[in-house]
Structures are given as C-alpha cells and as structure tokens.
Amino acid sequence: MQKEMMLEFPMPVMNRQELHRELNISYALLDRAYRVKGQTFAWKTNPSSRGTIEFDTAGFKKWLITQCGI
C-alpha cells in the first residue's frame, strides 16, 4: 500500500481542532501549513477575529505529501 493512501480524512473540510483530535496531527504542523505564503488550502472562518482555521483536506494532503514525504 502506498504511503499517501494511508492518510485518509473523514471529511472534505476539517478545522484545526478536528485534525488534531481525530488524526493526531500536531498543532505545530497545522500552524506551519496555515502560515505558508501562497497556500490555498487553509483559511480562517472570520479573519477579523479569533475564527477557527479550516482546512481543505485534499489540498492539505497534497501539501503533506510534498513537504513531509508522506
């Protein structure tokens, strides 16, 4: 089985807390991905306040594969 096939997300869009809680992805990695200049897979629900960070899991998976060699 290919390594990239082992990483499956339960929903197409998940927030930072869900990714950490359900898939045990570290907050540090999620924050790093969110802060990458020019990325298009993560956004804040309300940028003017303390909105939650949402991730398009397909785009996040592609980023993980290229950055972490998953």
The whole-chain average pLDDT of the chain stands at 88
Helix, strand counts (H, E) of the chain: 4, 3
| pLDDT value of residue 46 | 87
Distances 8 to 27, 34, 51, 66 between C-alpha atoms, Å: 18, 19, 25, 16
- Listed by start position, the domains of the chain span 10-68
> What's the number of CA atoms in the CB half-sphere (13 Å) around residue 44?
8
Q: Output the six-digit token pair for 24.
A: 């045990």
Instruction: Please say if the pLDDT value at position 68 is more than 90.
Output: no
| pLDDT value of residue 70 | 62
Instruction: Please say if the pLDDT value at position 33 is more than 90.
Output: yes
Instruction: Please say if the pLDDT value at position 25 is more than 60.
Output: yes
Can you tell me the mean pLDDT for 49-57?
A: 92
